[in-house]
Each structure stands twice: as C-alpha cells, then as structure tokens.
Chains A and B, each alone.
Chain A
Amino acid sequence: MPDGNVETYVLGGAALFALGLRGLLIHAHLVRKAVALNVMGAGVFLVLVALAARTPGALPDPVPHAMVLTGIVVSVCATALLLALAERVRDETGRAELPEDEP
C-alpha cells in the first residue's frame, strides 16, 4: 500500500477492533457475538497488514502476511465452533442466548 496511507489502515483496524469488542460485550445473542468476534479479527488483520507495509523497502514484510493467513484460517474454525455451540445451546435451552445474558 502507498506510503502515508499506513496510518489510515491502522486507524481503521483499531476502529474495527473496538467496534467488534463493543458488539461482543453488548449483544446477548450468540450469533451476533460470533459476528462481532469476526469483526475484531478483521481489525487485527488490517493492523497486521499495515504493519507489514510500514517496513522500509519495496517489498512488504512477509511474516505478518503469513500470520494473517494463519489467523484467517483459525478464525474460520473458531466461528464454526462458536456457531455449533450456539446451535447446541439452542437445542438444549430453546434460546440462542446464554442463561446469564437473558433479559
């Protein structure tokens, strides 16, 4: 990414992380929590890629790029597990919210 735009991406990534965290804490519905977690993940990946672009030289740093690839795969697995858990909670209790979060 062009020099001088790194700040934009870092700010965007941090904003996504903060928004996702807020959504995770505030919403009671498990699927909304899973979506918020994914938004947090997207923010983290954006910050990592911005960090990779900040290094001097023409080529970006490949190590954070590899971390992002790993992170994407792991976040897909975590989301799948979260959704399976949410369905199991709904099978057992009839609601897609944890008992302590129910209004």
Chain B
Amino acid sequence: MISTLLTTLLCAVLGATIALAVLAPGSGSRGLTQESLDALAASGVSNPVTAVLLNYRGYDTLLEIAVLLLAVVTVWGLRVAPARGDRGETDRPLLASLVRLVAPVAVTVAGYFLWIGSFAPGGAFQAGAVLGGLGVLALLAGLVRVATLDVAAVRVALAFGLLVFVAASTAAMVRTGGLLAYPPGEGGTWILLIEAAATVSIGATLAALFLGGRPGACPPREGGGDA
C-alpha cells in the first residue's frame, strides 16, 4: 500500500507542477494566430486549422498517415483476425438492416466533412473517422465477413493515402523546389486531393485496426500460440 500511496502522491505533485508551469504569469505567448491568419489567403483554404494541418505543418500530417499505416502493419503482423470477424449476417438481422440504412448516409456525411474542411471545421480525419465507424458497424453486423474479404483491395485502400501524399509532396517538390510547397494559387486543389486519398485510408485503417489481426487462416505454429 505504501507504494500505491507514494505513486499517487508523486502523480499529484506532477499534475500540480504541470498546472503551475502552464498558468504561471509570464508563461503565455502571443501564439501563432496572427501568422496563421496572415498566410491564410495564400494557403488555398479558408479554415485555419486545415491550413495548419495540410499546408503549414503538412509534413507532420504526412508522418501521421505513415503512423496509421505502421499501426495496421504491426497489428496485422501480431495476430490473425479472431473468429468473431466471421459472424454471419443472420446473427444480428436488426443491426444488419440498420447498417444498410445508415451506410449511404455515413458515406454522404463523410464526403460532406471532407469538402467542408476547406471552409469550416472538418477535413480528412473527421471524414475518415465516420468511414471507419461505418466499417466497424459493418464488421459487427456481419455485412463484411473476413472469409469473403477482398484482402488485396483492403491493402490498396490502406496504403492509398500515404502513396498519394508522398506522390503529391514529390510532385510539389519537383515543381516548386520545397517539400510540400504547393504551387501558388493551386493550394486548395492539392489539399483536397490529398485529403480525399487520406479519408479513404483513414477509414480503412480504423476498420482494419478494429479487425484485430490479419484476415485469413494461418497454419498453427509449433509450440502453441494463437490459432
């Protein structure tokens, strides 16, 4: 019990230190609001957060898409998808009907988020999250079955976002000489293109992560292990 108490105490001290450090007078700064807004007209979008994500700090977003792919590769490499991924459609007919109704709405909402991201809160990650949620629902309802999954198409969808992002950054570098420096005046088009590819990838990644392992049967290893 002593170590529990000590841990709690030390964590409390750490929390208090963080709060004090952030709230201390004189620790605030002007932030980057003015700089972001000044460069907004040239960035190609009118939503400052999207401009930061896809233009000013586009490199961070490129690496983040790579992290998504890395997570799927690692999870898929750890295990084979467990048997619950093969639940049949008739097991949960009510859920299956609901997902069938919701699916077109979800795709439309995702498309809306993707488009509106240039002007208002939204963007690739929000749209990808909606698509990912649809994928999870489809897996739960049995509308997407591991046994009949087109694994090649899923792999293409998973890598698509990163491939397009890297291709776009290379093309931009060829044309203007700077990594992810979009040609002036065309920023909005490039951003939308990259975001569209990223949306597909993010949705596929979230559903693939929910699957919990690579689809397909794996021959049992000697010495025990998972099936």
A88 touches B78 (CB 8 A): yes
Contacts of A19 in B (CB 8 A): 11, 15
- Counting chain B residues whose Cβ lies within 8 A of the other chain, the interface size class is 35 or more
- Residues of chain B within 8 A (CB-CB) of A7 are 23
Residue of B nearest to A16 (CB): B15
The answer to whether B64 has its CB under 8 Å from any CB of chain A is yes
Q: In the docked arrangement, what's the CA distance between A85 and B209, Å?
A: 12
- Knowing A87-B212, A88-B78, the reply to whether A17 touches B57 (Cβ < 8 A) is no
Of B12, B22, B30, B224, which is within 8 A of A51 by CB? B22
Contacting pair A62 B36 (CB below 8 A): yes
Please give, as numbers and ranges, the residues of chain B lying within 8 Å of A62 by CB-CB distance. 32-33, 36, 48-49, 51-52
Q: Is B26 an interface residue (CB 8 A)?
A: no
Q: Mark A11-22, 1 if CB is under 8 A from B, else 0.
A: 100110111011
Q: Whose C-beta in chain A lies nearest to the C-beta of B77?
A: A84
Secondary structure class of chain A's binding surface, majority of residues: helix
Question: Contacts A73-B68, A84-B212, A85-B78 known; A66 to B19 CB distance under 8 Å?
Answer: no
**B202 and A73 form a contact (CB under 8 A):** yes
Q: Which of B5-28 contact A (CB under 8 A)?
A: 7-8, 11-12, 14-16, 18-19, 22-23, 28
**Once the chains are docked, how many angstroms separate the CA of A18 from the CA of B32?**
28
Q: Nearest A residue to B132 by beta-carbon distance?
A: A76
Which chain A residues numbered 14 to 64 have a C-beta less than 8 Å away from chain B? 14-15, 17-19, 21-22, 25-26, 47, 50-52, 54-57, 59-63
A80 contact set on B, CB distance < 8 A: 71, 75, 209-210
Q: Smallest Cβ distance from B119 to chain A, in angstroms?
A: 14
The smallest C-beta distance from B124 to any residue of chain A, in angstroms, reads 10
- Nearest opposing residue in chain B for A78, CB measure: B71
The yes or no answer to B225 lying at the interface (CB within 8 A) is yes
Are the C-beta atoms of B33 and A55 separated by less than 8 Å?
yes
Question: Nearest Cβ distance between residue B187 and chain A, in whole angstroms?
Answer: 16
A87 to B202, CA, bound (A): 23
Closest partner residue, chain A, to B19 (CB atom)? A14
Q: How far is the CA of A14 from the CA of B12 in the complex (A)?
A: 9
B67 at the interface (CB under 8 A from A): yes
Known: A26-B8, A50-B22, A80-B209. 8 other contacts (CB 8 A): A19-B11, A57-B34, A61-B31, A61-B33, A66-B49, A81-B75, A83-B212, A84-B213
